[in-house]
DNA sequence: CGCCCTTAACTGAGATCACATATCGCACGC
DNA sequence: GCGTGCGATATGTGATCTCAGTTAAGGGCG
């Protein structure tokens, strides 16, 4: 006995929240696209209530935005906001890396190596799956951050990734990612090695290099709004029906 | 014309959210106290729906906590969490102060002086109002942070204050606050002066001193949970009826 | 006299209903 | 032919209802 299951201790609202969050982080919803609560509800096979809760929570985390019209959409990324978020990331994730280096254990270091190897393997494939790369990159970073054992900090960093996720992935799957991933691999390797020898400053430097390189690449792509148009009503309103 | 009014462009849910947020920040709800959505709704004169949205949003910001029983309460502050939040505050608010010093304008500096004077005046009264002191302290800090013109950063800092608010005020209104406020005044003055002469490092140092002093005081009070009991069911369940 | 079980009230979650508002299409009139 | 105004559609918001799970109290049994 006892091998039943953790009950259904999961609320529908929670599931909707996580699904939506995943969708945004993976960049499945392009910035500026408007969402319809009713459409989402019917697509997910529930009523509007859980969806409303999830949307409210995501809006509180700045992952979604409610326009004065009360329409909901993924907030378009401006260059200013992107640079601000990058500056905050450098601060917080840099700190997390330093603490993580100090608290690194052999087991966690081995796991980090494994994730890095997976990332490298996926990259070396003839047809790398963009989604897998995004996921492995996220796993790599967050495995380090979790090592710092600072749950509140981790939470904030997740919020930041949630905000930059859309453009980060939008970019990753569209442009020539070959060179970018190569640099990412280099920084990741340097980060692993620095963590292995307990070099907090070195680990931080590697992370800063990683974040800055990725950020520069995105900025150079010109995919971000200067500060003006902000409007692209996205003719097909609402989400895909079920 | 045009001086009409912004219509009633305010949703009930938004008002409930702000009210609840204010209540938590002001420490009106003691940590560990359980909240009843229905009770809150009847107290606020609305239905459960807007309250549920507000609670969901606050839970997303870690200002409220949903127990596995699905009961909602203000999360009790542990010593670990408090120290972690303080470390994050030092990072983010320290950064904000440095940027704000660089972007300080004469007008904003004057306003900062005025707020500091108000704070000092309230403190020098024979019977200082604890609530007013809390509000002025918050105004002082956030006027600086706003000067940095980093909206996302400001948002995160607000979230941090929301989490430490309860214990901060609980402490401020109970114990001998005389000495603590004196030190706060000193750090605030040093902060204003450093900002006035464009000394970013000095401003940061003053802020670090302020945060650390306040934190040490609270930690020394022993009002925080070591890590164990965490439970005080708070016999009177729910909130005060209307 | 004490422990445990039953029961009743309460709470949160989800669905459905009702209403105000925004969006878009279309016809009328200039 | 084109701009303006009206109306239909859809959407978000708030209220009400039902259901399942939890909690606490009261009564029965050991």
CA gap B41, A45 in Å, rounded: 29
Paired tokens of A204? 């931080």
Helix (H) or strand (E) holding B66: strand B65-66
Co-location of A64 and A90 in the same domain: no
pLDDT higher for B69 or A75?
Answer: A75
DSSP B46: S
Q: Which domain holds residue B166?
A: 79-221
Cβ separation B153–A9 shorter than 8 A: no
Query: What was the pLDDT predicted at A145?
Result: 97
- Is any Cβ of chain A less than 8 angstroms from the Cβ of B57? yes
Measure, in angstroms, how far nucleotide C28 C1' is from residue A38 CA. Answer: 34
Q: Nearest Cβ partner of A53 from B52, B95, B155?
A: B52
Nearest Cα of chain B lies from the Cα of A6 at a distance, in angstroms, of 12
| pLDDT for res B241 | 35
Classify residue B81 by burial, with Cβ atoms within 10 Å: 0-12, 13-18, 19+: buried
Share of chain A above pLDDT 70, in %: 82
Same domain, A38 and A156: no
B121 and B211 share a domain? yes
- Going residue by residue through chain B, which has 242 residues, state the pLDDT in tens, using 9 for 90 and above: 444 444 456 788 888 999 898 888 877 888 888 889 999 999 888 999 999 989 999 998 899 998 888 889 988 888 999 999 999 999 999 999 999 999 999 999 999 999 999 988 888 887 777 778 888 889 999 999 999 999 999 999 999 999 988 777 766 665 555 566 678 889 999 999 999 999 999 999 999 999 998 888 888 876 666 654 433 333 333 333 33
- DSSP states along chain A: ---S-STT---HHHHHHHHHHHHHHTT-S-TT-EE-HHHHHHHHTS-HHHHHHHHHHHHHTTSSEE-TT--EEPPPPBHHHHHHHHHHHHHHHHHHHHHHHHH--HHHHHHHHHHHHHHHHHHHSSS--HHHHHHHHHHHHHHHHHHT--HHHHHHHHHHHHHHHHHHHHHHTTS--HHHHHHHHHHHHHHHHHHHTT-HHHHHHHHHHHHHHHHHHHHHHT-SB-SS------SS-SPPP-
Angstrom distance (rounded) from CA B11 to CA B107: 34
Same domain, A38 and A56: yes
For residues A57 and A55, what is the distance between their CA atoms, to the nearest angstrom? 5
Contact B160, B88 (CB under 8 A): yes
Residues B158 and B114 in one domain: yes
Please tell me whether residues B132 and B166 are part of one structural domain.
Answer: yes
**Contact list, A159 vs chain B (CB under 8 Å):** 156
Q: Give A152-169 pLDDT, tens digit per residue.
A: 999 999 999 999 887 877
Among protein residues, the one whose C-alpha sits closest to the C1' atom of D22 is B69
Q: Which residues of B touch A88 (CB under 8 A)?
A: 92, 150, 152-153, 156
Do B110 and B99 contact (CB within 8 A), yes or no? no
Q: Which nucleotide is nearest to B235 (CA to C1')?
A: D24
Contacts of B12 in chain A (CB under 8 A): none
CA atoms within 13 A on the CB side of A156: 28
* CATH number of the domain bearing residue A67: 1.10.10.10
Domain count for chain A, please give it: 2
- Chosen for mutation from A10, A57, A60, A96 (greatest number of chain B CBs closer than 10 Å) is A60
- Please tell me whether any atom of strand C lies within 7 Å of the Cβ of A36: no
Distance in Å, residue A70 CA to nucleotide D3 C1': 28
CATH of the domain at B205: 1.20.120.530
Q: Which of A20-34, A99-113, A161-175 has the highest mean pLDDT?
A: A99-113
């Amino acid at each position: 006995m006892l091998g039943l299951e953790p009950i259904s201790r999961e609320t529908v609202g929670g599931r909707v929240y996580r699904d939506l969050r995943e969708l945004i982080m993976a960049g499945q919803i392009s910035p500026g696209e408007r969402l319809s609560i009713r459409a989402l509800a019917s697509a997910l096979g529930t009523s509007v209530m859980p969806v409303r809760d999830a949307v409210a929570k995501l809006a509180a985390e700045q992952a979604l935005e409610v326009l004065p019209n009360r329409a909901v959409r993924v907030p378009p990324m401006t260059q200013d906001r992107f640079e601000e978020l990058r500056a905050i990331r450098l601060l917080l994730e840099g700190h997390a890396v330093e603490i993580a280096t100090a608290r690194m254990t052999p087991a966690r270091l081995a796991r980090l190596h494994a994730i890095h190897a997976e990332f490298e393997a996926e990259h070396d494939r003839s047809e790398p799956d963009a989604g897998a790369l995004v996921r492995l990159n996220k796993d790599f970073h967050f495995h380090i951050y979790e090592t710092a054992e600072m749950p509140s900090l981790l939470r904030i960093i997740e919020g930041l990734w949630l905000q930059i996720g859309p453009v980060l992935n939008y970019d990753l799957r569209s442009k020539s990612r070959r060179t970018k991933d190569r640099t990412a691999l280099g920084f990741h390797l340097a980060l692993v090695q620095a963590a292995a020898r307990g070099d907090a400053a070195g680990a931080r430097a590697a992370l800063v290099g990683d974040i800055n390189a990725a950020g520069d690449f995105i900025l150079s792509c010109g995919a971000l709004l200067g500060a003006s148009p902000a409007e692209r009503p996205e003719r097909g309103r609402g989400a895909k029906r079920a």
